[in-house]
Copies of this chain bind each other. A is one copy, B any other.
Amino acid sequence: MDDALKAPSRRAFLKGSAAAVAGSVAAGAAVAAEPDPLITELQDWASSLGEGVDETPYGLPIKYEDDVVRRNVPWLTADPISSINFTPIHALDGTITPQGCAFERHHSGAIELSKPDYRLMINGLVDQELVFTYADLERFPRENHVYFCECAANTGMEWAGAQLNGVQFTHGMIHNMEYTGVSLRTLLNEAGLGAAGDLKDKWVYVEGADASSNGRSIPMEKALDDVLVAFKANGEALRKEHGYPVRLVVPGWEGNMWVKWLRRIEVTDMAVESREETSKYTDVLADGIARKWTWVMDAKSVITSPSPQSPITHGPGPMVISGLAWSGHGQITRVDVSKDGGMTWETARLGRQGDTKALTRFYLDTEWDGEEMLLQARAMDETGYVQPTKAQLREVRGENSIYHNNCIQTWHVKTNGEAENVEVS
């Protein structure tokens, strides 16, 4: 139970100017004596039947939420076919991302691959090369874990300064789902790793069935750790755009490695140095030298409400500042929130602690004085790592980077409650 909820928390705002209806009640008037038209209308619902059980085989959100959708930004990539849908994190709460609005990216379009047509090959330095059908995969022991999947380019536009006025666009290349699948370790052991000899310097090369193939090299140590060959997300089959029927889940590591429509796993004695790990998904530093093998997504957090797409719609008084934090190194241990651009900090309340390498929701239950704020959040993870400022990050990485921008984000909240993406020095 949260301490914040145990504490006496009688709040005055319902009796104040913010809520006229509550105000009239608080003044001691019976509701019937001063009827609010909306309360009268509320009674009306009770006098007629609603719609029957929805016969739509698969349900969709109510019409009032038609603005809470994944957003495509075609100009972000060379061709719209290789673009990105962003999760509407400004409008979500909790930690789970529904598949219907979960971040997606594909490099050569989404392919339609049926279960009967599906095959997964394991080859290379194994005792026995194998080809699995989808039905074969279901016969191996399965696991379930909630993991976040973040694109290495999430927040990438912001290296150049405050660019995009919405947390869906600055931080929405991320989703968090309960994945079900077979451990990659189980399948590698099925093929047998004796032929690979010493596993310390071995790799697996994974590729998808789409035209990009999106081949990536994964060190054997990670492949034998927590990688999943997954076929369900949030209980149901993967959606087409999430790699139906089978994708790789590489917990804590950049989303580009979570190969969709997974068709081949090759055990190799060196990294392939594919396009996706050389010309892309490397980080050019100030001196022109590129960092590579920057797989892990470092600790990061962002305030989702209030934010540019989720302004404050009430006056001064009690409010909840909320957001998301995550770390590819494990659990989030603490999130601090600043209202003054990083000069002073308050520690936020963390939501239920879920799986490692999963999103953590944080809340700061606070009072707004009606003044401007420079809102920031700062995450810490179980390794002791502290999310850096943009200045700190630029000092180490320069300003050439696209990927792995995990710096502290700032929202300028104005007195009218609107928020804007800004950069503080």
Contacts and interface: CB of A to CB of B under 8 A. Distances in A.
Interface of A: 2, 4-5, 8-11, 13-15, 18-19, 21-22, 25-26, 31, 36, 38-39, 41-42, 45-55, 57-66, 68-70, 72, 80-85, 91-102, 104-106, 108-115, 117, 119, 121, 123, 128-133, 135-136, 138-145, 178-180, 183, 185-186, 189-190, 192, 209-211, 213, 231-232, 234-237, 239-241, 244-245, 261, 263, 313-314, 317-320, 322, 349, 351-352, 354-355, 361, 363, 365
Contacts of A104: 53-54
B64 A22 contact: no
B81 A241 contact: no
A190 B11 contact: yes
A210 B43 CA distance: 9
A2 B82 CA distance: 38
In the complex, which of the residues A13, A179, A240, A317 has the most CB atoms of chain B within 10 Å of its own CB atom? Answer: A240
A318 B140 contact: yes
A183 B59 contact: no
Contact of A64 (B69, B95, B114, B121): B114
Contacts of A244: 62, 64-65
Contacts of A96: 96, 178, 234-235
Pick the 5 closest A-B CB pairs, nearest first: A50-B109, A57-B69, A50-B111, A52-B81, A62-B240
6 contacts: A21-B133, A36-B119, A50-B211, A57-B66, A62-B239, A139-B314
A45 B209 contact: yes
A117 B41 contact: yes
Given A58-B101, A186-B9, A236 B65 contact: yes
B100 A81 contact: no
A92 B318 contact: no
A389 to B, nearest CB: 28
A279 to B, nearest CB: 19
Contacts of A136: 13-14, 18-19, 22
